[in-house]
Structure 1
């Protein structure tokens, strides 16, 4: 949020303060602040409290006033989303991957609350915002190998997930004497389990890549990670 003279509410006090031109440095290369500003301008304010869900419509022309601490955290959160996009673009280029064309800035993808719960709001929003992040995640998922033993172990430990529709209608559970015919066979569900485990492993690989990639980032004042305890408004939430 800007103050008189073009300064922002998260700028340090004093007449010599200058708004930084970049939100962060990645290996010494600037990530322009304008990209964060554009993201903030084009994503709706309304949505889930974690800031990740949104609607397929531009942000309203007039926003309700926000508390300064909320505005500061919004900018820091947005910086992480834009940063993840930039890091993913670089990773795709290094891997020879070509992401699909970008969505118009005014076209905001909707996120399922389940994705926000599984991924965290920053990663979920970055995947919705960034074709490069989605392309990289798909590549990492495709690289995962799930051993047959892991698939079988998952099936054996989660029999309640594989009850037949008839068994569910009768209220059968694996804990009160389900008959063999009440449970879908391993062969029937093996591929679905393998896909689910590969997807989970791909997400873990994405988290690992992101953590490692962010190690090379230096943030400008007001763009620190929202969970960084060095600033007073920090929230340990992703």
Structure 2
């Protein structure tokens, strides 16, 4: 009996069973993540989602997570990377709300679920070069982020010409800024890679992107 597929990546099937297995392990957490990305009521022209439609959309959302894992596995193989431990996907762990806000629920869930996606992101971060002037410019433009602990306790206003002694010296925070900028650049590179990699994906009916306008109950969420 031929196994049904949720999608095809460059002609190769991604079995529907992988999506069902993901949902089986992560349904409660996945449902919360999917709903957390919902737009305000009325933003899409839909009323509150009926259970059946919500379930269909959650399956489409889960398909995106699984397909991202599959694409990342292939990218790791092409780069000669071996993700930590093994390639078995994990159940979703606690995902910081800031990651959901910054990355979107699909990418945040994919990075929590997929060792391959995390290995790829780490490799992309190693590729990023942040020049010294960019690090210094970030420091100069964001002094409010570098108040000393004592200044924070005293409630110093960073926008009211604070005393230089209330700002952590550049040499102390330089490496942390560079790491933060590399991480941000790696995330942008990951999004660029994912957008390009998705070009070779064809979705089976019922597994389209939740925001795909070609199906009638689409919703623009990520």
| Structure 1 and Structure 2 fold alike (TM over 0.5) | yes
| 2:193 corresponds to 1:200 | no
Q: Which residue of 1 aligns with 2:209?
A: 225
Partner Cα distance (2:219, 2:78) in 1? 33
Partner Cα distance (2:131, 2:113) in 1? 33
1:48 Cα deviation after fit: 6.8
1:124 Cα deviation after fit: 0.6
1:106 Cα deviation after fit: 7.2
**8 Å contact from structure 1 (residues 102, 130) kept in 2:** no
Q: What are the Cα deviations for residues 161-219 of structure 1, in whole angstroms up to 9, with x where unaligned?
A: 00111111121122212011110011110000000000000000000000000001111
**8 Å contact from structure 2 (residues 128, 185) kept in 1:** yes
User: Among residues 156, 161, 170, which one is paired with 2:154 in the alignment?
Assistant: 170
Partner Cα distance (1:47, 1:222) in 2? 18
Name the structure with the higher helix share. Answer: 2
Q: Which residue of 2 aligns with 1:78?
A: 62
**8 Å contact from structure 1 (residues 137, 203) kept in 2:** yes
Partner Cα distance (1:46, 1:177) in 2? 45
User: Among residues 2, 9, 16, which one is paired with 1:33 in the alignment?
Assistant: 16
What is the alpha-carbon root mean square deviation over aligned residues?
2.1
**8 Å contact from structure 2 (residues 121, 190) kept in 1:** yes
Q: Identify which of structures 1 and 2 has the higher relative contact order when contacts are C-alpha pairs closer than 8 Å and 6+ apart.
A: 2
Secondary structure class of the residue paired with 1:101: coil
Q: How does 1:17-32 map to 2 (within 5 A)?
A: 21-32=4-15
Q: Which residue of 2 aligns with 1:135?
A: 119
> Unpaired runs of 5+ in structure 1?
1-18, 54-65
Q: Which residue of 1 aligns with 2:34?
A: 51
> Unpaired runs of 5+ in structure 2?
37-49
Q: What are the Cα deviations for residues 90-146 of structure 1, in whole angstroms up to 9, with x where unaligned?
A: 000000000123487674322111111111100010011100000000000110000
Q: What are the Cα deviations for residues 14-58 of structure 1, in whole angstroms up to 9, with x where unaligned?
A: xxxxx98111111111111111111111113257743389xxxxx
**8 Å contact from structure 2 (residues 90, 113) kept in 1:** no
Distance 1:52 1:209, change over 3 A: farther
| 2:139 corresponds to 1:146 | no
Deviating above 6 A after TM superposition, structure 1's stretches of 4 or more consecutive aligned residues are 103-106
Partner Cα distance (1:106, 1:227) in 2? 25
TM-score computed with the length of structure 2 as normaliser: 0.88
TM-score computed with the length of structure 1 as normaliser: 0.82
Partner Cα distance (1:203, 1:107) in 2? 22
- How many residue pairs end up in the alignment? 208
